[in-house]
Amino acid sequence: MGQQPITFLRQVVALCMFPELMDSPSFPEDAKWRAQRILRGCGGQSIGSYSSSEGVQCIREDIAAYIEHRDHGVPANWDNIFLTTGASDGIMNILKLLVSGEGHNRTGVMIPIPQYPLYSAAITELGAVQINYYLDEDNCWALDVNELHRAYHAAKQHCQPRILCIINPGNPTGQVQSKKCIEDVLHFAYEENLFVMADEVYQDNVYAPDCQFHSFKKVLYEMGPEYFNSVELASFHSTSKGYTGECGFRGGFMEILNLDPEVKAQLVKLVSVRLCPPVAGQAAMDVIVNPPQPDEPSFTQFHKEKAAVLGALADKAKLTEQILNAVPGIKCNPVQGAMYAFPQIFIPPKAVEEAKALGMEPDMLYCLRLLEETGICVVPGSGFGQREGTYHFRMTILPSHEKLKVLLEKVRDFHIRFLKEYSDLQDPQCSVAA
């Protein structure tokens, strides 16, 4: 998508990969200090060595310090930090740890709809039961605790709900959940003894001025010891998102809270099967949690690059919402965070009939036609889940401002043509939807 890498991150990883560069005047001293510290934590002072299965200890210590700073002093223990091969690896391992049973005793996993398909795929692979709870599209994709209760009690008839997954900021929906919402969710998890999986990989991607990222751990701490010392929680972060976008490094971490010591020992065994996460990815993660400080030589450039990436994403989030909402038959909630828009699209009955005749979902027909006619690739909402009778697509806001504007205008023109092709202009249904 043309986003430039953060210079400081690449400098530190380059120094770790080729320590001979430590003698080069082209690299700033603060990058060298960090690389030297990471290498001292590696076996044989080489990034090519295996680390411990949980990750390099000094990096885990830096992550714990980062979490304490992020959460305004809420204590974090480095021994509860596990480095992962991207957040996906951590999510899979927690699910493997928790899923068990057969028949009515099978583990039920509550996931938001729309959802990131990693969750439905992992649940299917592990033989667990997917429990859908629907986000409230009319309320900017908020999470309604009454919907959690509905989904939980319906699922109790055929499985044992044990896990509650939340994605905040949302993918594909781009919402940022309020502190009150998170409190309600944690209270629900406490009452029903559910293990909470908080997917917080987009925590740096918050654009709406009236929104703020609240970690589930911090909110849990503020609810008091009764909650903080009992609710089992795993939270996830990644090098792939944020302002860095370093997906290829496969770096990430998870923090676990309130795991029984014997269960934690089993988790260590489980992660040991894959030996260790990529150590270069661990080094990249370290830079994200331990960036240049104001008194260090790389701070000015780092801050400028970070602000430029996040500022551009905020502008593109607003542009996407504005252009899509001006199109008849498209309704797009504000893109408060993350990197995606998930607009609802009106698909005329004739197009729905044609899709059914072709054996595909109506939004798949729409997205294929969009691809064929414009070259624009978006993902149909049916791939993420959506309420019966509604249709969506997911698109990213990552292209440059100029390309995104052209792309959105092409989507607008296509949609208008699509409506004209399949709708009788006198059709009151179409008029209402428009």
**Each residue's pLDDT tens digit, 227-242:** 999 999 999 999 988 8
pLDDT at 214 over 70: yes
Return the pLDDT at 213: 92
- Could you give the percent of the chain with pLDDT greater than 70? 97
Tell me: the pLDDT tens digits for 381-420? Answer: 998 888 888 999 999 999 999 999 999 999 999 999 999 9
What gap in Å lies between CA 60 and CA 54, rounded to an integer?
8
Query: How many residues are listed for the chain in this entry?
Result: 434
Tell me: the pLDDT tens digits for 143-185? Answer: 999 999 999 999 999 999 999 999 999 888 888 999 999 999 9
Domains of the chain, by residue range, sit at: 50-289, 302-433
pLDDT at 434 over 50: no
DSSP 193-204: TPEEEEE-TTTT
Closest by CA position to 382, among listed 357, 397, 396, 362: 362
Write down the CATH number for the domain with range 50-289. Answer: 3.40.640.10
> In the predicted model, what is the mean pLDDT of residues 213-219?
94
pLDDT at 432 over 80: no
Tokens of 328: 């008849």
Return the pLDDT at 387: 87
Q: What is the mean pLDDT of the chain?
A: 91
- Report the predicted TM-score, pTM, of the whole model to 2 decimal places: 0.89
Separation in Å, CA 269 to CA 153, 236, 265, 299: 34, 19, 6, 40
Tell me: the pLDDT tens digits for 190-200? Answer: 999 999 999 99
What gap in Å lies between CA 416 and CA 362, rounded to an integer?
16
Using the CB atoms, write b or e for 10-21: b if 16+ within 10 Å.
Answer: bbbbbbbeebeb
pLDDT at 371 over 90: yes
Tell me: the pLDDT tens digits for 293-328? Answer: 999 999 999 999 999 999 999 999 999 999 999 999
Closest by CA position to 145, among listed 104, 99, 192, 98: 192
- The model's confidence at residue 424, banded by pLDDT at 50, 70 and 90, is low
Return the pLDDT at 83: 95
The fold of 302-433 is Aspartate Aminotransferase, domain 1 (3.90.1150)
Handedness of CA 123, 124, 127, 128 (dihedral sign): positive
Separation in Å, CA 294 to CA 17, 30, 35, 322: 26, 11, 19, 36
Return the pLDDT at 431: 43
